[in-house]
Homo-oligomer: A and B are copies of this chain.
Amino acid sequence: MAVNTIDLNAMGLAARKASRVLAKIPEETRNSALLALADLLEANYEVIIGANDIDQAKAQKQNLSEHMLDRLILTKERIRDMAQGVRDIANLPDPLGIHRDSHTLPNGLWVQKRSVPLGVIASIYESRPNITVDIASLCMKSGNSTILRGGKEAFTTNKALVTLIQKAFTSSGLPPKGVQLVESTDRKFVRELLRMKDHIDLMIPRGGESLIQEVSANAYMPVITGGIGVCHTYVDKTANVEKAKNIIYNAKVQRPTVCNALDTVLIHSDVIETHLPAIASELNRASVELHCDSQSQAILSELTSLNTIAATQDDWGKEYLSLTAAVKVVSSIEEAIDHIEEYGSGHSEAIITEDHSTAMQFLDEVDAAVVYVNASTRFTDGGQFGLGAEIAISTNKLHARGPMGISELTSYKWIVLGNGQIRN
Protein backbone atom coordinates (compact mmCIF):
# COMPACT_ATOMS: atom_id res chain seq x y z
CA MET A 1 0.00 0.00 0.00
CA ALA A 2 2.85 2.35 0.74
CA VAL A 3 3.61 3.41 -2.80
CA ASN A 4 6.03 6.28 -2.46
CA THR A 5 6.64 7.11 -6.05
CA ILE A 6 3.34 8.61 -7.13
CA ASP A 7 3.84 11.67 -9.28
CA LEU A 8 0.84 13.73 -8.22
CA ASN A 9 1.93 16.61 -10.38
CA ALA A 10 1.80 14.38 -13.46
CA MET A 11 -1.64 13.21 -12.34
CA GLY A 12 -2.72 16.82 -12.05
CA LEU A 13 -1.45 17.68 -15.51
CA ALA A 14 -3.16 14.61 -16.97
CA ALA A 15 -6.39 15.53 -15.20
CA ARG A 16 -6.24 19.05 -16.59
CA LYS A 17 -5.56 17.74 -20.10
CA ALA A 18 -8.42 15.25 -19.82
CA SER A 19 -10.73 18.01 -18.58
CA ARG A 20 -10.15 19.94 -21.81
CA VAL A 21 -11.22 16.88 -23.77
CA LEU A 22 -14.17 16.11 -21.46
CA ALA A 23 -15.49 19.64 -21.86
CA LYS A 24 -16.01 18.94 -25.55
CA ILE A 25 -17.65 15.50 -25.21
CA PRO A 26 -21.32 15.63 -26.21
CA GLU A 27 -24.02 14.78 -23.70
CA GLU A 28 -24.90 11.52 -25.44
CA THR A 29 -21.35 10.19 -25.11
CA ARG A 30 -21.09 11.17 -21.45
CA ASN A 31 -24.38 9.38 -20.80
CA SER A 32 -23.32 6.27 -22.69
CA ALA A 33 -20.16 6.12 -20.59
CA LEU A 34 -22.33 6.27 -17.46
CA LEU A 35 -24.58 3.49 -18.72
CA ALA A 36 -21.50 1.43 -19.62
CA LEU A 37 -20.24 1.93 -16.09
CA ALA A 38 -23.55 0.78 -14.61
CA ASP A 39 -23.38 -2.39 -16.70
CA LEU A 40 -19.74 -3.00 -15.79
CA LEU A 41 -20.51 -2.69 -12.08
CA GLU A 42 -23.23 -5.31 -12.31
CA ALA A 43 -21.24 -7.62 -14.60
CA ASN A 44 -18.20 -7.47 -12.32
CA TYR A 45 -19.84 -7.69 -8.94
CA GLU A 46 -17.73 -10.72 -8.04
CA VAL A 47 -14.52 -8.82 -8.75
CA ILE A 48 -15.74 -5.92 -6.62
CA ILE A 49 -16.86 -8.14 -3.77
CA GLY A 50 -13.55 -10.01 -3.97
CA ALA A 51 -11.65 -6.75 -3.56
CA ASN A 52 -14.03 -5.68 -0.82
CA ASP A 53 -13.39 -8.97 1.04
CA ILE A 54 -9.70 -8.12 1.20
CA ASP A 55 -10.50 -4.70 2.69
CA GLN A 56 -12.93 -6.26 5.15
CA ALA A 57 -10.44 -8.84 6.30
CA LYS A 58 -7.90 -6.11 6.99
CA ALA A 59 -10.49 -3.99 8.74
CA GLN A 60 -11.46 -6.84 11.03
CA LYS A 61 -7.83 -7.38 11.98
CA GLN A 62 -7.63 -3.69 12.82
CA ASN A 63 -10.76 -3.90 14.97
CA LEU A 64 -12.68 -1.33 12.98
CA SER A 65 -15.93 -0.35 14.70
CA GLU A 66 -19.18 -2.06 13.64
CA HIS A 67 -20.35 1.24 12.23
CA MET A 68 -17.25 1.68 10.05
CA LEU A 69 -17.35 -1.95 8.96
CA ASP A 70 -20.94 -1.56 7.85
CA ARG A 71 -20.04 1.46 5.75
CA LEU A 72 -17.24 -0.49 4.11
CA ILE A 73 -19.16 -3.62 3.12
CA LEU A 74 -20.38 -4.08 -0.45
CA THR A 75 -22.93 -6.75 -1.27
CA LYS A 76 -24.46 -7.74 -4.57
CA GLU A 77 -27.51 -5.69 -3.64
CA ARG A 78 -25.47 -2.64 -2.72
CA ILE A 79 -23.62 -2.92 -6.03
CA ARG A 80 -26.95 -3.11 -7.85
CA ASP A 81 -28.06 0.04 -6.01
CA MET A 82 -24.79 1.70 -6.98
CA ALA A 83 -25.38 0.81 -10.65
CA GLN A 84 -28.93 2.13 -10.44
CA GLY A 85 -27.58 5.35 -8.97
CA VAL A 86 -25.27 5.70 -11.97
CA ARG A 87 -28.19 5.13 -14.37
CA ASP A 88 -30.20 7.76 -12.52
CA ILE A 89 -27.36 10.23 -13.01
CA ALA A 90 -27.24 9.37 -16.73
CA ASN A 91 -30.94 10.22 -16.92
CA LEU A 92 -30.58 13.67 -15.40
CA PRO A 93 -30.80 16.63 -17.79
CA ASP A 94 -27.45 17.83 -19.10
CA PRO A 95 -26.09 20.61 -16.85
CA LEU A 96 -23.75 21.85 -19.61
CA GLY A 97 -24.39 24.30 -22.43
CA ILE A 98 -27.29 25.98 -20.70
CA HIS A 99 -27.58 29.64 -21.67
CA ARG A 100 -28.71 32.13 -19.05
CA ASP A 101 -29.06 35.87 -18.70
CA SER A 102 -29.12 36.20 -22.46
CA HIS A 103 -29.65 39.80 -23.55
CA THR A 104 -28.87 42.12 -26.43
CA LEU A 105 -27.14 45.39 -25.63
CA PRO A 106 -28.14 48.69 -27.30
CA ASN A 107 -25.04 48.38 -29.51
CA GLY A 108 -26.27 45.04 -30.83
CA LEU A 109 -23.88 42.81 -28.87
CA TRP A 110 -25.60 39.59 -27.83
CA VAL A 111 -24.37 38.67 -24.34
CA GLN A 112 -25.12 35.48 -22.42
CA LYS A 113 -23.70 33.05 -19.90
CA ARG A 114 -23.13 29.44 -20.91
CA SER A 115 -22.70 26.70 -18.30
CA VAL A 116 -19.38 24.86 -18.63
CA PRO A 117 -17.56 22.27 -16.48
CA LEU A 118 -15.52 23.52 -13.53
CA GLY A 119 -12.48 21.59 -14.76
CA VAL A 120 -10.74 19.30 -12.28
CA ILE A 121 -12.49 18.23 -9.09
CA ALA A 122 -10.66 16.32 -6.37
CA SER A 123 -12.17 14.52 -3.44
CA ILE A 124 -10.59 13.22 -0.26
CA TYR A 125 -12.98 10.89 1.52
CA GLU A 126 -13.32 8.16 4.06
CA SER A 127 -14.49 4.59 4.21
CA ARG A 128 -17.65 4.28 2.07
CA PRO A 129 -16.53 2.95 -1.34
CA ASN A 130 -19.77 4.00 -3.03
CA ILE A 131 -18.50 7.59 -2.78
CA THR A 132 -15.93 6.59 -5.41
CA VAL A 133 -18.68 5.78 -7.89
CA ASP A 134 -20.94 8.66 -6.82
CA ILE A 135 -18.33 11.37 -7.28
CA ALA A 136 -16.88 9.92 -10.46
CA SER A 137 -20.35 9.62 -12.00
CA LEU A 138 -21.45 13.13 -11.07
CA CYS A 139 -18.20 14.49 -12.50
CA MET A 140 -18.56 12.41 -15.70
CA LYS A 141 -22.06 13.77 -16.16
CA SER A 142 -20.90 17.35 -15.67
CA GLY A 143 -17.79 17.02 -17.87
CA ASN A 144 -15.25 17.35 -15.07
CA SER A 145 -12.02 15.44 -14.49
CA THR A 146 -11.68 13.80 -11.10
CA ILE A 147 -8.82 12.93 -8.78
CA LEU A 148 -9.93 10.62 -5.98
CA ARG A 149 -8.20 9.86 -2.74
CA GLY A 150 -10.30 7.39 -0.78
CA GLY A 151 -9.84 6.05 2.71
CA LYS A 152 -7.31 3.37 3.51
CA GLU A 153 -10.06 0.99 4.72
CA ALA A 154 -11.55 0.78 1.21
CA PHE A 155 -8.27 0.92 -0.69
CA THR A 156 -8.59 -2.36 -2.62
CA THR A 157 -12.29 -1.83 -3.33
CA ASN A 158 -11.64 1.68 -4.62
CA LYS A 159 -8.91 0.39 -6.93
CA ALA A 160 -11.30 -2.19 -8.39
CA LEU A 161 -14.03 0.42 -8.84
CA VAL A 162 -11.75 2.97 -10.52
CA THR A 163 -10.49 0.28 -12.90
CA LEU A 164 -14.10 -0.28 -13.98
CA ILE A 165 -14.76 3.45 -14.27
CA GLN A 166 -11.71 3.86 -16.49
CA LYS A 167 -12.90 0.91 -18.62
CA ALA A 168 -16.22 2.65 -19.08
CA PHE A 169 -14.38 5.82 -20.07
CA THR A 170 -12.23 4.03 -22.61
CA SER A 171 -15.07 2.00 -24.10
CA SER A 172 -17.09 5.17 -24.70
CA GLY A 173 -14.27 7.28 -26.09
CA LEU A 174 -13.77 9.41 -22.99
CA PRO A 175 -10.20 10.13 -21.85
CA PRO A 176 -9.32 7.48 -19.22
CA LYS A 177 -7.30 10.01 -17.22
CA GLY A 178 -10.60 11.76 -16.61
CA VAL A 179 -10.84 9.69 -13.42
CA GLN A 180 -7.71 8.92 -11.44
CA LEU A 181 -7.19 7.35 -8.04
CA VAL A 182 -4.28 8.25 -5.79
CA GLU A 183 -3.04 4.71 -5.28
CA SER A 184 -1.50 5.21 -1.91
CA THR A 185 -2.81 5.88 1.55
CA ASP A 186 0.36 7.65 2.61
CA ARG A 187 -0.84 10.88 4.19
CA LYS A 188 1.94 12.90 2.63
CA PHE A 189 0.03 12.66 -0.64
CA VAL A 190 -3.02 14.26 0.97
CA ARG A 191 -0.95 17.24 1.97
CA GLU A 192 0.54 17.41 -1.50
CA LEU A 193 -2.91 17.23 -3.13
CA LEU A 194 -4.12 20.11 -0.98
CA ARG A 195 -1.36 22.32 -2.36
CA MET A 196 -2.12 21.58 -6.06
CA LYS A 197 -4.20 24.67 -6.70
CA ASP A 198 -3.00 25.00 -10.28
CA HIS A 199 -4.29 21.56 -11.20
CA ILE A 200 -7.40 21.28 -9.02
CA ASP A 201 -10.31 23.70 -9.30
CA LEU A 202 -12.38 22.39 -6.41
CA MET A 203 -11.71 20.11 -3.46
CA ILE A 204 -14.55 18.16 -1.91
CA PRO A 205 -13.81 16.44 1.40
CA ARG A 206 -16.33 13.80 2.44
CA GLY A 207 -16.12 12.27 5.87
CA GLY A 208 -16.02 13.11 9.54
CA GLU A 209 -15.43 16.46 11.15
CA SER A 210 -11.67 16.05 11.57
CA LEU A 211 -11.14 15.24 7.89
CA ILE A 212 -13.23 18.20 6.81
CA GLN A 213 -11.46 20.57 9.19
CA GLU A 214 -8.06 19.33 8.05
CA VAL A 215 -8.85 19.76 4.37
CA SER A 216 -10.50 23.11 4.90
CA ALA A 217 -7.60 24.45 6.96
CA ASN A 218 -4.84 23.26 4.64
CA ALA A 219 -6.20 23.40 1.10
CA TYR A 220 -4.92 26.10 -1.22
CA MET A 221 -7.80 25.65 -3.68
CA PRO A 222 -11.51 26.30 -2.98
CA VAL A 223 -13.06 23.69 -0.70
CA ILE A 224 -16.69 22.71 -0.30
CA THR A 225 -17.14 22.63 3.43
CA GLY A 226 -20.09 20.61 4.51
CA GLY A 227 -21.20 17.43 6.13
CA ILE A 228 -21.28 18.93 9.60
CA GLY A 229 -24.76 19.73 10.79
CA VAL A 230 -25.70 20.99 14.22
CA CYS A 231 -29.43 21.15 13.54
CA HIS A 232 -32.02 22.82 15.76
CA THR A 233 -35.78 22.51 15.71
CA TYR A 234 -37.54 25.34 17.52
CA VAL A 235 -41.00 24.64 18.94
CA ASP A 236 -42.76 27.99 18.96
CA LYS A 237 -45.47 28.92 21.45
CA THR A 238 -48.05 28.51 18.67
CA ALA A 239 -46.71 25.11 17.54
CA ASN A 240 -49.17 22.34 16.83
CA VAL A 241 -48.22 19.59 19.24
CA GLU A 242 -48.84 16.74 16.80
CA LYS A 243 -46.66 18.31 14.12
CA ALA A 244 -43.97 19.11 16.69
CA LYS A 245 -43.96 15.56 18.01
CA ASN A 246 -43.85 13.89 14.59
CA ILE A 247 -41.34 16.22 13.00
CA ILE A 248 -38.93 16.09 15.93
CA TYR A 249 -39.20 12.30 16.14
CA ASN A 250 -38.50 12.02 12.42
CA ALA A 251 -35.64 14.52 12.46
CA LYS A 252 -33.93 12.71 15.34
CA VAL A 253 -34.76 9.05 14.82
CA GLN A 254 -35.22 8.31 11.13
CA ARG A 255 -31.45 8.28 10.55
CA PRO A 256 -29.53 9.67 13.50
CA THR A 257 -26.02 9.23 12.04
CA VAL A 258 -26.30 11.84 9.31
CA CYS A 259 -25.64 15.55 9.20
CA ASN A 260 -29.24 16.68 8.75
CA ALA A 261 -30.48 14.85 11.86
CA LEU A 262 -31.74 16.91 14.77
CA ASP A 263 -29.37 17.75 17.60
CA THR A 264 -31.14 20.31 19.76
CA VAL A 265 -34.80 20.97 20.51
CA LEU A 266 -35.48 24.58 21.47
CA ILE A 267 -38.91 25.06 23.00
CA HIS A 268 -40.84 28.17 23.98
CA SER A 269 -41.46 28.40 27.74
CA ASP A 270 -45.20 28.92 27.13
CA VAL A 271 -45.61 25.38 25.84
CA ILE A 272 -43.21 23.33 27.92
CA GLU A 273 -46.04 21.89 29.97
CA THR A 274 -48.32 21.19 27.04
CA HIS A 275 -45.83 20.14 24.33
CA LEU A 276 -42.61 18.96 25.91
CA PRO A 277 -43.96 15.81 27.62
CA ALA A 278 -45.53 14.65 24.35
CA ILE A 279 -42.33 15.28 22.40
CA ALA A 280 -40.16 13.60 25.02
CA SER A 281 -42.43 10.57 25.28
CA GLU A 282 -42.40 10.18 21.53
CA LEU A 283 -38.58 10.34 21.43
CA ASN A 284 -38.52 7.84 24.27
CA ARG A 285 -40.17 5.27 21.99
CA ALA A 286 -36.79 5.15 20.23
CA SER A 287 -34.86 5.43 23.51
CA VAL A 288 -33.47 8.83 22.62
CA GLU A 289 -31.30 10.15 25.43
CA LEU A 290 -32.30 13.70 26.34
CA HIS A 291 -29.76 16.19 27.68
CA CYS A 292 -31.99 18.82 29.24
CA ASP A 293 -31.46 22.28 30.62
CA SER A 294 -32.71 22.68 34.19
CA GLN A 295 -36.11 24.06 33.25
CA SER A 296 -36.99 21.30 30.78
CA GLN A 297 -35.55 18.65 33.08
CA ALA A 298 -37.75 19.90 35.95
CA ILE A 299 -40.87 19.80 33.80
CA LEU A 300 -40.13 16.33 32.47
CA SER A 301 -39.40 14.93 35.90
CA GLU A 302 -42.58 16.51 37.25
CA LEU A 303 -44.93 15.50 34.45
CA THR A 304 -43.46 12.27 33.08
CA SER A 305 -41.58 9.29 34.36
CA LEU A 306 -38.78 9.76 31.80
CA ASN A 307 -35.15 9.74 32.79
CA THR A 308 -33.18 12.67 31.45
CA ILE A 309 -29.63 13.87 31.84
CA ALA A 310 -28.64 17.36 32.87
CA ALA A 311 -27.21 19.20 29.89
CA THR A 312 -23.79 20.83 30.19
CA GLN A 313 -22.36 23.68 28.15
CA ASP A 314 -20.88 21.04 25.78
CA ASP A 315 -24.34 19.97 24.68
CA TRP A 316 -25.06 23.27 22.94
CA GLY A 317 -23.68 23.14 19.42
CA LYS A 318 -22.91 19.43 19.61
CA GLU A 319 -23.49 17.18 16.60
CA TYR A 320 -24.48 13.89 18.24
CA LEU A 321 -24.79 11.57 15.20
CA SER A 322 -26.58 9.20 17.59
CA LEU A 323 -29.88 8.81 19.47
CA THR A 324 -29.18 11.74 21.75
CA ALA A 325 -30.76 15.19 21.70
CA ALA A 326 -30.32 18.36 23.73
CA VAL A 327 -33.37 20.26 25.01
CA LYS A 328 -33.40 23.93 25.94
CA VAL A 329 -36.23 26.24 26.96
CA VAL A 330 -36.27 29.74 25.47
CA SER A 331 -38.56 32.62 26.30
CA SER A 332 -38.91 34.07 22.79
CA ILE A 333 -38.23 33.42 19.13
CA GLU A 334 -35.41 35.98 19.36
CA GLU A 335 -33.72 33.87 22.02
CA ALA A 336 -34.14 30.82 19.80
CA ILE A 337 -32.61 32.61 16.81
CA ASP A 338 -29.73 33.91 18.94
CA HIS A 339 -29.05 30.40 20.20
CA ILE A 340 -29.03 29.06 16.63
CA GLU A 341 -26.73 31.88 15.52
CA GLU A 342 -24.31 31.09 18.32
CA TYR A 343 -24.35 27.31 18.19
CA GLY A 344 -25.64 26.28 14.77
CA SER A 345 -23.34 25.17 11.96
CA GLY A 346 -25.34 26.87 9.19
CA HIS A 347 -26.72 23.58 7.90
CA SER A 348 -30.47 22.98 8.51
CA GLU A 349 -32.73 24.73 11.00
CA ALA A 350 -36.49 24.35 11.55
CA ILE A 351 -39.34 26.08 13.29
CA ILE A 352 -42.64 24.49 14.28
CA THR A 353 -45.26 27.22 14.41
CA GLU A 354 -48.82 28.02 13.38
CA ASP A 355 -48.15 31.76 13.37
CA HIS A 356 -47.37 33.20 9.96
CA SER A 357 -45.36 36.23 11.09
CA THR A 358 -43.23 34.10 13.38
CA ALA A 359 -42.56 31.69 10.52
CA MET A 360 -41.49 34.58 8.27
CA GLN A 361 -39.26 36.03 10.99
CA PHE A 362 -37.51 32.69 11.41
CA LEU A 363 -36.98 32.35 7.64
CA ASP A 364 -35.65 35.90 7.39
CA GLU A 365 -33.31 35.87 10.32
CA VAL A 366 -31.86 32.40 10.58
CA ASP A 367 -28.66 32.20 8.56
CA ALA A 368 -28.35 28.60 7.38
CA ALA A 369 -28.15 26.66 4.15
CA VAL A 370 -31.72 25.39 4.60
CA VAL A 371 -34.43 26.91 6.79
CA TYR A 372 -37.68 25.00 7.37
CA VAL A 373 -41.17 25.79 8.57
CA ASN A 374 -43.11 22.79 9.90
CA ALA A 375 -40.97 20.09 8.31
CA SER A 376 -38.21 17.70 9.25
CA THR A 377 -34.60 18.80 8.72
CA ARG A 378 -34.00 15.31 7.31
CA PHE A 379 -35.20 16.62 3.93
CA THR A 380 -31.91 18.47 3.34
CA ASP A 381 -30.73 16.23 0.53
CA GLY A 382 -30.21 16.68 -3.20
CA GLY A 383 -32.43 13.72 -4.03
CA GLN A 384 -35.23 14.94 -1.74
CA PHE A 385 -35.04 18.46 -3.19
CA GLY A 386 -35.39 17.09 -6.69
CA LEU A 387 -31.82 17.85 -7.81
CA GLY A 388 -31.04 14.24 -8.60
CA ALA A 389 -27.97 12.91 -6.82
CA GLU A 390 -25.88 15.21 -4.68
CA ILE A 391 -22.13 15.50 -4.41
CA ALA A 392 -22.19 17.23 -1.02
CA ILE A 393 -24.23 19.48 1.23
CA SER A 394 -22.39 22.75 1.38
CA THR A 395 -22.35 25.00 4.41
CA ASN A 396 -20.26 27.49 2.43
CA LYS A 397 -21.91 30.68 1.26
CA LEU A 398 -19.79 31.05 -1.86
CA HIS A 399 -20.61 29.24 -5.11
CA ALA A 400 -23.17 26.80 -3.74
CA ARG A 401 -25.06 26.40 -0.48
CA GLY A 402 -27.01 23.39 0.74
CA PRO A 403 -27.48 20.29 -1.42
CA MET A 404 -25.16 20.41 -4.45
CA GLY A 405 -26.20 18.58 -7.59
CA ILE A 406 -24.53 18.43 -10.98
CA SER A 407 -25.43 22.05 -11.78
CA GLU A 408 -23.26 23.09 -8.86
CA LEU A 409 -20.32 21.29 -10.52
CA THR A 410 -20.44 23.79 -13.36
CA SER A 411 -19.08 27.26 -13.91
CA TYR A 412 -20.04 29.52 -16.80
CA LYS A 413 -18.37 31.55 -19.45
CA TRP A 414 -19.72 34.71 -20.98
CA ILE A 415 -20.34 34.44 -24.69
CA VAL A 416 -20.47 37.70 -26.64
CA LEU A 417 -21.51 37.71 -30.29
CA GLY A 418 -20.76 40.83 -32.27
CA ASN A 419 -20.54 42.18 -35.74
CA GLY A 420 -17.60 44.52 -35.43
CA GLN A 421 -18.57 46.40 -32.26
CA ILE A 422 -15.95 48.56 -30.57
CA ARG A 423 -16.13 50.43 -27.28
CA ASN A 424 -16.56 54.20 -27.23
Which positions in A face B, CB cutoff 8 Å? 20, 23-24, 103, 105, 109, 111, 114, 116, 118-119, 201-202, 217, 220, 222, 240, 242-243, 246-247, 249-251, 254, 341, 359, 363-365, 367-376, 378-380, 384-386, 396-399, 401-403, 411-423
Contacts and interface: CB of A to CB of B under 8 A. Distances in A.
A401 B376 contact: no
Contacts of A399: 398-399
A401 B420 CA distance: 24
Contact of A222 (B222, B246, B376, B413): B222
A181 B372 CA distance: 37
Given A371-B416, A398-B222, A384 B24 contact: no
Contact of A20 (B251, B367, B420, B423): B367
A420 to B, nearest CB: 4
Nearest to A416: B372
A399 B412 CA distance: 9
A105 B386 contact: yes
A374 B108 CA distance: 12
Contacts of A420: 240, 242-243, 246-247, 374-375
15 contacts: A23-B365, A105-B385, A105-B386, A111-B385, A119-B397, A202-B398, A222-B222, A222-B398, A370-B416, A375-B420, A376-B423, A380-B414, A384-B423, A399-B399, A403-B414
A413 B369 CA distance: 5
Number of copies: 2
B118 A398 contact: yes
The residue in A371, A398, A401 that gathers the most chain B C-beta atoms within 10 A of its C-beta is A398
A224 to B, nearest CB: 9
A37 to B, nearest CB: 25
Given A111-B385, A397-B201, A398-B399, A422 B254 contact: yes
B24 A365 contact: yes
B24 A109 contact: no
A368 to B, nearest CB: 6
Contact of A373 (B202, B242, B254, B416): B416
Given A341-B20, A385-B111, A386-B105, A368 B413 contact: yes
Nearest to A349: B413
Contacts of A359: 417
The residue in A20, A367, A422 that gathers the most chain B C-beta atoms within 10 A of its C-beta is A422
Sorted nearest first, the 9 A-B pairs with minimum C-beta distance are: A375-B418, A250-B422, A397-B411, A378-B423, A243-B420, A370-B414, A399-B399, A374-B418, A375-B421
Contact of A414 (B202, B243, B401, B418): B401
Given A416-B375, A416-B379, A118 B397 contact: yes
Contact of A422 (B119, B378, B398, B412): B378
Contacts of A118: 397-398
A403 B111 CA distance: 12
Given A399-B399, A423-B384, A369 B414 contact: yes
A401 B411 contact: yes
Contacts of A254: 422-423
B103 A386 contact: yes
A413 B371 contact: yes
Nearest to A247: B422
Nearest to A352: B420
B422 A386 contact: no
A68 B111 CA distance: 34
A7 B86 CA distance: 52
B109 A379 contact: yes
Contacts of A240: 420
A413 B367 contact: yes
B364 A24 contact: yes
The residue in A201, A369, A414 that gathers the most chain B C-beta atoms within 10 A of its C-beta is A414
